[in-house]
C-alpha cells in the first residue's frame, strides 16, 4: 500500500465540497460530456445519490458518486455513476478504494446488481473495472456526445 493510500481519508461529501469536485471533474473529463455545477448540486440533493470524496491533508484527491434506483419489479439496482481522481493522484490505488466505497454503500442499500457506463474508447477504464469483477454487458452506440460507450455489470454473486 502506498503512502497516499494510507493517508487518504474517504468520507461522505459535504455541500461545500461540490465546487472542488466540479473543478476535478472539469480537468479529468475535459473534452468529454461534462456535468454542469448545477447538475452536481441537484444530484447531491437526491436521496438516491451518495457522493464520496478522498481527502488528503487539506486537498481533495478525488470523488465517487453512487446511485440507486428502484426497478419495475420492485428490486433495487445500483450504479457507479462516476469515479474521478485528480491527475496528480492517479495510479496510486485511490480509484480502487473509491470504487469499493461506492460499491459498499450500494450493497448496504440492498441492490441486486451494479451497472456502470464508460467510454468504449478508453480501454484502460474497462481494465480497471474488469479487475473489479465487472463484466461487459452491452454496447452503447453514441452514448456520449462524440463517441460510443459500454455498459459493464457486476452481479450479486460477485459482490
Determine, following the binding rule CB under 6 A, whether residue 79 of this chain makes contact with ligand COA. no
* Rounded CA separation 40/65 (Å): 10
Contact between 102 and ligand COA by CB under 6 A: the answer reads no
The answer to whether 95 contacts ligand COA (rule: CB under 6 A) is: yes
47 by Cβ neighbours in 10 Å (0-12 / 13-18 / 19+) ranks as exposed
Euclidean distance between CA atoms 77 and 111, whole angstroms: 5
Rule CB under 6 A: is residue 131 a binding residue for ligand COA?
Answer: yes
Task: Determine contact, residues 105/66, Cβ cutoff 8 Å.
Answer: yes
Shortest Cβ 93–ligand COA spacing (Å): 5
Find the part of the chain contacting ligand COA (CB under 6 A) among 11-19, 41-49, 81-89, 149-157: 81-89
Determine, following the binding rule CB under 6 A, whether residue 143 of this chain makes contact with ligand COA.
no
Amino acid at each position: 500500500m502506498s503512502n497516499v493510500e494510507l493517508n487518504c481519508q474517504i468520507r461522505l461529501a459535504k455541500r461545500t465540497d461540490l465546487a472542488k469536485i466540479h473543478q476535478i471533474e472539469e480537468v479529468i473529463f475535459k473534452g468529454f460530456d461534462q456535468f454542469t455545477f448545477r447538475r452536481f448540486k441537484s444530484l447531491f440533493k437526491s436521496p438516491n445519490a451518495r457522493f464520496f470524496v478522498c481527502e488528503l491533508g487539506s486537498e481533495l484527491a478525488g470523488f465517487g458518486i453512487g446511485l440507486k434506483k428502484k426497478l419495475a419489479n420492485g428490486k433495487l439496482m445500483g450504479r457507479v455513476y462516476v469515479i474521478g481522481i485528480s491527475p496528480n493522484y492517479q495510479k496510486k490505488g485511490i480509484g480502487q478504494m473509491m470504487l469499493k466505497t461506492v460499491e459498499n454503500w450500494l450493497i448496504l442499500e440492498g441492490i441486486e446488481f451494479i451497472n456502470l457506463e464508460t467510454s468504449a474508447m478508453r480501454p484502460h477504464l474497462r481494465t480497471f473495472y474488469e479487475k473489479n469483477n465487472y463484466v461487459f454487458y452491452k454496447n452503447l452506440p453514441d452514448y456520449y456526445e462524440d463517441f460510443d460507450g459500454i455498459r459493464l455489470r457486476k452481479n450479486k454473486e460477485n459482490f
